[in-house]
Amino acid sequence: MAARLASRLAICHLPAGTVRTATFSTRAATSRGAIVVGVQPAKRADQALQQQYKFGAWATTTLSPSHRLDHLHQARSFATTPSLNTSTTMASPKYTVWYYPGKGRAENARLILEAAGVPYENKYIGDWKVEKPTTPFGQLPVLLMTDEKTNQPMQLAQSAAIVRYLARKYDLVAEDALDFAIADSVYESTNDINELLMRIVWATPEPEKPAAIEKFKQETLPGFIKSHTAILEKNGNKGIYAGNKMTYVELAAFNTINELNTVVPGAISATTAPALWKMHELVASHDKIKAYLASPRLHKV
């Protein structure tokens, strides 16, 4: 079971010297302020990184290209370079999300761009030993974009900084300062859960994973459900943590619940956590998110 779970969450590494870039445009936003997305915490355990890198090396030699990129049929190869791909007939991408070919810490940044209807592309890791020194802090994800003040290319690092920048940029934050703070506190709590899940999947020796998952189920999951349920119910049990519109906290929680249910099947459901599931389904039914979830743009792991 633990091995299967690790495989489902594995992030495949691509061959050295290759960058895979998938370019696409989302539908234009019809309204502003509808949804904001949260991103997992910026800092990554080095051991977890090494585990991902090792799995990627194995996948590169074991899996065929079609298996590695079956969910990215638009992917194309380019020589390793930090420059953006412009050879596309689609809308010119405003941003490039640089990460592994998986969800991980970049998924919520993608979700905010999807929700805002902003064109973007994915750039995947190539020769990391060469690429690492070119990033601000030697970590991914990194958002590649143009500085509007100088019109020069720039990199924005740290996933939390990326999501808060995008949220404010596209007016996808709560208008009330207290609502924003409440939402942000919940967002941080989802980051804590994500950290625990990553440690279980990537940094826990295989023989110890079943016990680690069971400990999580007994000691952490009940408190997560209880605290989130209380905040949702205090706000009227309408699937929103604070205020009257979806913000990044709902998407962060939505993403965390999906990962939770992958590691612990059935952990969050209409039966085990009705208020949380109501929030999850509210996000899942949003037109732009629904379209994204059904599209080839969505990474499978």
Residues 95-129 have pLDDT tens digits of: 999 999 988 899 989 999 998 889 999 999 999 99
- CA–CA distance, 159 with 195 (Å, rounded to integer): 13
Average pLDDT, the chain: 77
Task: Outline where DSSP puts E strands in 82-227.
Answer: 95-99, 120-124, 142-147, 152-157
Q: With 60 as the cut, is the pLDDT of residue 269 above it? A: yes
Q: Are 18-46+69-172 and 177-284 the same fold in CATH?
A: no
- What does the pLDDT read at residue 175? 86
- Rounded to an integer, the average pLDDT of 151-170 is 93
Residue 63 has pLDDT above 50, yes or no: no
Model confidence pTM above 0.75: no
What is the arithmetic mean of pLDDT over 227-242? Answer: 96
Give the residue extent of every domain in the chain. Answer: 18-46+69-172, 177-284
With 0-12 / 13-18 / 19 or more C-beta atoms within 10 angstroms meaning exposed / middle / buried, residue 300 is exposed
Closest CA to 111 of 3, 206, 253: 253
Homologous superfamily in CATH for domain 18-46+69-172:
Glutaredoxin (3.40.30.10)
Q: What does the block give as tokens for 226? A: 């209880």
Region 53-60: mean pLDDT is 41
Q: Which CATH architecture has domain 177-284?
A: Up-down Bundle (1.20)
Is the per-residue pLDDT at 229 higher than 90?
A: yes
15-24, 70-79, 171-180: range with lowest mean pLDDT:
70-79
- Residue 80 three-state SS: coil
Side chain identity at residue 56, one-letter code? G
Question: Residue 293 pLDDT more than 70?
Answer: yes
Q: Are 118 and 143 in contact (CB under 8 A)?
A: no
Report which of residues 64 and 259 the model is more confident about: 259
- Residues 122-155: tens digit of each pLDDT: 999 999 999 999 999 999 999 999 999 999 999 9
pLDDT band for 171, please (50, 70, 90 cuts): confident
DSSP 3-state of 209: helix
pLDDT tier, 8 (very low <50, low <70, confident <90, very high otherwise) = very low
Q: What pLDDT does 137 receive?
A: 98
Burial class (CB in 10 A: 0-12, 13-18, 19+), 88: middle
SS3 content of the chain, % helix, strand, coil (to 5): 50, 10, 40
